[in-house]
Structure 1
Amino acid sequence: MSLIRLNIKGISYSQTQNGAYALILSEVDGDRKLPIVIGAFEAQSIAIALEKEIMPPRPLTHDLFKNFSDRFQIVVKQVIIHKLVDGVFYSSIICERDDIEEIIDARTSDAIALALRFKAPIFTYKGILESAGIYLKSSQKKESKKGDEAAVLEKLLENEDQESKATDTSDFKKNTLKELYKMLDAAVENEDYERAAKIRDEISKRN
C-alpha cells in the first residue's frame, strides 16, 4: 500500500468531547485533511513542539523521551498512522539504533508529539486518508461540496468556540507589550502553555 505524507495544520479545541482537542493533519500533495481527536496533555505537548518560542521550565514527558533517546542514540525515523478501527487511529514509530530498525506501537498523539521533536516525517496509508480524510476548504472546482464539507467538519470537530475566542482576544488587546511579555513568562512558569501560545500570538500580531 502506498504511503502519503502528512503535515500538521493545527490544533483546535473540540466541543464534541470534554477536554479533547482536534489535531488536523494535512495531505502534503493534496487538499485532504485528517482530523484526529486527542487529549489535552498531548495537545499541549504538540503545541509546545510547534511553538519554538515557548520553552517549558522542566521537560515534559515527550521531551524526556527525546532526551533519553538522544543519550542512548535512538533515532525516530518516521511515524506511520497504519490503522483506523471504530474511529480510533493506530500508529507505529519507526526507530533505529546501531543500524537496527525497530517498530514500536504507539498512540497517534504520542507518536506525532515525538515525530515533531525528532523532525521525523508523518505518513498514513492511502486507504485511511480516503476513508477518514475531509476537505476543510473548498476550491472553486469543489464549490458544490462546500456545504457537505462544512457539515462534516462541524460534526467531527465543532471547534468554533467564538465566545471563548472573542473573550481571549479582547483580554489580550487591553494589555501593553510589556505586560504581555510578563504574562507570557508567568504562563510558562505556571506551565499553562495553552494560554502562553495565545499570548505569544497576540505579541506576534503587534511586532
Structure 2
Amino acid sequence: MLQVRLRGLALDQSNSPVVILEVEKTNKGFGIWIGPFEAEALALAISGKDFPRPLTYDLFVNTVTQLGGVFEKAVIGQVKDNVYYASLHLQDRTGQLYVVDARPSDCLVLAVKKGFPIFVEDSVFKESSIDLSNLQTDALQHGQEEDTEGFKKFVENLDIEELKKHFRSKEDDSETS
C-alpha cells in the first residue's frame, strides 16, 4: 500500500468535481471524480470552518468519538469500471478493528477532518496513476490557496475519455510485457 495526500480539488471541463490524490514523495497520482455535495463537504473540511450546529460528517465523527472509537486510516482498495471503492478502518475502545465499506469521497472528508492517513492499494495505483509533474502547485491544500493556474488549467482541460484511454493503454502495455 502507498500513502496518498490530497493534491487538489477542482472542476473538470464539464464542471464535474475531481480530486487529485498524489502518492507521498512522488510526482505520481490519480484523479477521482466525486459528487458536488461531497466536493462542497471536502472544501469545507479543507477550509476548517466550524458551524454552530454539526453537519452530517461532524455527526458521524462525533458519534464515533463519543463511542470511544478512533479513525485509523482509509484505504482505496479497488477500481471497477472507473468506480473507486474504499474502506474506513476504525478501532473501538477495546482495540477491536472494524473495516467499513465507504466511498473514497467520504473517506477524504473524514481524513481531512480527523487527520488520519489515506492509502491506495498498489494494484489500484498501478492501474490509475498518471504523472503529475506538469502540475505547478496544489489547488487547495489545507485551506491555503496558492498560485493555482497550472493546476486549474490541467483540470479544466482534463478529458475523462482520454484519461480512460490512457488507463486502458497502460493496462494493455502491462499485459503484453
Higher relative contact order (CA 8 A, sep 6+): 2
Aligned to 1:75: 70
Distance 1:138 1:23 in 2: 16
State the shift of 1:14 in Å. 2.5
Check conservation: 1:75, 1:95, Cα contact below 8 A: yes
Give the residue type in structure 1 aligned to 2:11: Y
User: Which segments of structure 1 move beyond 3 Å, counting only runs of 4 or more?
Assistant: none
**Post-superposition shift, 1:157?**
9.3
Q: What CA distance in whole angstroms lies between the structure 2 residues aligned with 1:96 and 1:30? A: 30
SS of equivalent residue, structure 2 residue 41: helix
> Quick check: 2:12–2:158 contact (8 Å CA) kept in 1?
no
TM-score by length of 1: 0.63
Amino acid of the structure 1 residue aligned with 2:82: G
Aligned to 1:129: 125
Unaligned runs of 5+ in 2: 136-153, 163-177
Give the 3 Å change call, closer, same or farther, for CA 106–76 of structure 1 in structure 2: same
Distance in 2, Cα, partners of 1:154 & 1:91: 24
Higher Cα Rg, which structure: 1
How many residue pairs get matched?
A: 142
Secondary structure of the 1:65 match is helix
| Partner SS, residue 8 of structure 1 | strand
CA RMSD of aligned residues (A): 2.3
Distance 1:157 1:108, change over 3 A: farther
AA matched with 1:71: Q
Residue 155 of structure 1 is matched in structure 2 by: 159
Contact 1:15/1:157 (CA < 8 Å) preserved in 2? no
Partner residue, 2:38: 42
The answer on whether the counterparts of 2:34 and 2:105 sit within 8 Å (CA) in structure 1 is yes
